[in-house]
Every structure is written in C-alpha cells, then in structure tokens.
Amino acid sequence: MSETNTGRCLCGAVRFKTTGPLRGVIYCHCGQCRRQTGHYVAATAVADARITIEGTDSLSWYEASADAKRGFCRTCGSLLFWKGEGLDRISIMAGAFDQPTGLKGQSHIFAGDKGDYYAIDDGLPVFEASGANTSAPKA
Ligand SMILES: [Zn+2]
Ligand SMILES: [Zn+2]
C-alpha cells in the first residue's frame, strides 16, 4: 500500500493529502521565510502529481519574488505551501501535517541569512545559501 499523509491549516479550510514518500525536511532560514513565519520554514516536498488540495477557494498565493510563490490560508493565515517557478514539485510545511508524520530533518539552507537570535546546532548539514538537494522523492 502506498504511503499516504494528510494535513491542514489551523482553521481547517484548506486540507491536503499526499501519496508516496515525503522528502526529508529542509529548514530555510532566508529573510523571506523568517518574516512570513516569524521564525524559519520547515518543509518537505512531493511531486505535483502526488498531492491533492481541498479548499483552494481559501488558499491565497503570495509572490515574495519572481522565483516562487507561497500558499497560505486566507482565513487563519497558516503558511502551507511553497512553489518554485518552473518546478515540478511543491514544498509543504512540515508543521501542517497530521501526526505522526514520520518526517526527519535533512538540512538547513540559507543559513547565511538566519536570524541572529538562535543557533543551528542539530548536526544536520548547513548550507550558507541554496545548495542542498531539494528534489522530491521519485517513488
Ligand atoms: Zn485556515
Ligand atoms: Zn526561505
């Protein structure tokens, strides 16, 4: 049986379901993620074909740059998705998943832009900018 995971925003207006394995969690410490989340992003990813989203009427997309847009619930404000321009995968915020997620941390990116009020000390690989393998699992 194929692995299935579900999740939702805080108010429940936007729900999603993924099938197949999830990528390890990548923590993004860039300034855009910091301001949008109030801390930093923790996100997994799947191929576009492996996610179904319900409640898209409540989903708003904000383009912080020409490279990507960020999907959030317009009612409760939960950040749910990050979608890179031209990519065939979608990043999903790890905290939006129903527990247990089975997710594991993979690496830190854009550590060069991180907030000055915390340390990265979990032993995972740290990249100053991009540079991690951010692909979604094939299977
Ligand atoms: Zn919501
Ligand atoms: Zn970021």
Per residue in 30-73, pLDDT (tens digit) is 999 999 999 999 999 999 999 999 999 999 999 999 999 999 99
Other beta carbons within 10 Å of 111: 18
> Above pLDDT 70, what percent of the chain?
98
Ligand 1 mean position to 76 CA, how many Å? 4
Ligand 1 centroid – CA 47 distance (Å): 23
Of the pLDDT bands very low, low, confident and very high (cuts 50, 70, 90), residue 1 is low
* Ligand 1 center to 10 CA (angstroms): 5
Contact at 8 Å (CB) between 9 and 78?
Answer: yes
- Residues 70, 82 contacting (CB under 8 angstroms): yes
H helix or E strand, kind and range, residue 32: helix 31-37
Q: Lay out the sheet containing 4-8: strands in order across.
A: 4-8, 15-19, 51-54
Cα of 30 vs centre of ligand 2, distance in Å, is 4
